[in-house]
Amino acid sequence: MEHPIKILIVEDNVIIADDMQSMLEEIGYEIVDNVIVYEQAVDVLKNNHVDLVLIDIILASDKTGIDLGKHIRDTYNIPFIFVTSNSDRATVENAKTVKPDGYLVKPFEQQDLYTSIEIALSNFNYAKKGIDKVADEADEITSNSVLKDSIFVKKQHLYYRIQFCDIQFIKADNVYLEVNTADKKFLVRSPLKDYLEKLPKNKFYRAHKSYIVNVDHIDAINSKDIMINNNLIPISKDFKEFILSSMNS
């Protein structure tokens, strides 16, 4: 494969997990990590590029694979497949609530694993093309000056329109940006500098190497921080001087 598909394995049986990893690497996939609990999986997803997740439903933690599936659906736009020994009606119905891109019952052969992954990726990419077409149309509308007061942010399989005035601050968090409004948080994959260029220049400023802030939402300031909606945000010396000079002008 020219660009190997990057896969995260979440499986609490170490023997099965290692066997799956060997199968996948033999086919040509790249294993980002091989973890056993929900918390480890969340951390890997936050800090790495992952194309697809293979998830055991029963994990060695309080939270299950279905909890992880919900987290992925709520936070990321990537496919996942449940890999489980459980095929009873109750488990399947529970799994369906988070809309997995596949459901593979153990034991399975290498060909079964390959087929499930390729079908999941194919279906996911086909659906994504439709979503991207909608996004392109939205961008075209924006460029025609109809939606100058807002930006579209993708969450799950939808693009949400956010008014610029509702964005309070944006925080760089590893490979993602956290776009924060008063009561919501959206994850966006973009460099902070590039995202700043999409925002109104008279309201949004780089307050720190890891933060963009909307100056209309600043509640308080001291020598090192500003406060926005009870969040303390560090500021650079230049930004502090800019704010103080603006206050005094």
Secondary structure (DSSP) of 72-138:
HHHH----EEEEES--SHHHHHHHHTT--SEEEESS--HHHHHHHHHHHHHHHHHHHHHHHHHHHHH
User: How do residues 32-48 score in pLDDT, each as one tens digit?
Assistant: 999 999 999 999 999 99
- Are 57 and 66 spatial neighbours (Cβ–Cβ below 8 Å)? yes
Report the alpha-carbon distance of residue 23 to residue 28 in Å, rounded.
Answer: 9
Quote the pLDDT of residue 140. 47
State the pTM of this model: 0.56
Q: Three-state DSSP class for 146?
A: coil
Assess whether pLDDT exceeds 50 at residue 144.
Answer: no
**Which residue in the block uniquely carries the two structure tokens 């991207």?**
132
- How much is the average pLDDT of 220-235? 92
6-127 belongs to which CATH class?
alpha beta
- Are 47 and 73 spatial neighbours (Cβ–Cβ below 8 Å)? no
At residue 148 the predicted structure's pLDDT band, cuts being 50, 70 and 90, is low
Quote the pLDDT of residue 151. 85
Q: What secondary structure letter does DSSP report for 165?
A: G
Report the alpha-carbon distance of residue 67 to residue 39 in Å, rounded.
Answer: 11
Treating both helix axes as pointing N-terminal to C-terminal, what angle do 110-143 and 14-27 enclose, rounded to 10 degrees?
70
% pLDDT > 90, the chain? 57
- How much is the average pLDDT of 192-197? 89
Assess whether pLDDT exceeds 70 at residue 64.
Answer: yes
**Which residue in the block uniquely carries the two structure tokens 């005094």?**
248
Residue intervals in the chain for CATH 3.40.50.2300: 6-127
Query: Looking at domain 150-248, what is its CATH homologous superfamily?
Result: LytTr DNA-binding domain (2.40.50.1020)
Residue intervals in the chain for CATH 2.40.50.1020: 150-248
Q: How does the average pLDDT of the chain come out, rounded?
A: 86
Assess whether pLDDT exceeds 50 at residue 167.
Answer: yes
